A = this chain, B = another copy of it.
């Protein structure tokens, strides 16, 4: 999280800083990004950068979290729209994410982020976080969704169902960048995998 000093800045200057960071993170992966480039483009001194952020990870994950939150909100939106049917909401969220991530201004940033994804990046995008705030979100999700179509016995199995769905979703987002898929191709893949998951990959008599 950026320091208070950053949030005290006039909005205009905040925006310039974030845009400069975004540009740099769009150019190269996080570890190769250079603070020198960011401060040069934003026209601030090196020392100032460290007044605002702990380091480059700080501003990177701040940018990422902003987008992650929007993705989660889009899920909640679609859930409400489709009577809490998770499997109607999820493909809609997936498309929403793809469209957002592939926008001209975002594309390279997300490409760098996802192709050099690590556990922390993944968790930023997932509901499964230790932070109490998101734990609450997760519990609300579990409580809210329509469970009638789901095939599970224990609560533990339900958790695993959710985890499977989200992990397949993220995997497909990453894949869309790794293989440079069009939104249509990515949707096709994702829906196929989701329907395989729904109906099961084993014939009835073999389970």
Contacts and interface: CB of A to CB of B under 8 A. Distances in A.
Interface in A139-167: 148-152, 156-157, 160-161, 163-165, 167
B207 A199 contact: yes
26 contacts: A115-B119, A116-B118, A116-B119, A117-B119, A119-B174, A150-B201, A150-B202, A151-B199, A151-B201, A151-B203, A152-B201, A156-B192, A157-B192, A157-B196, A160-B189, A160-B193, A160-B196, A161-B196, A163-B193, A165-B201, A167-B167, A197-B200, A197-B201, A198-B200, A200-B200, A200-B201
B119 A203 contact: no
Q: Which applies to chain A's interface (DSSP): helix, strand, loop or mixed?
A: helix
Contacts of A201: 150-152, 161, 164-165, 197-198, 200
A203 B198 CA distance: 8
Nearest to A151: B203
Contacts of A198: 200-202, 207
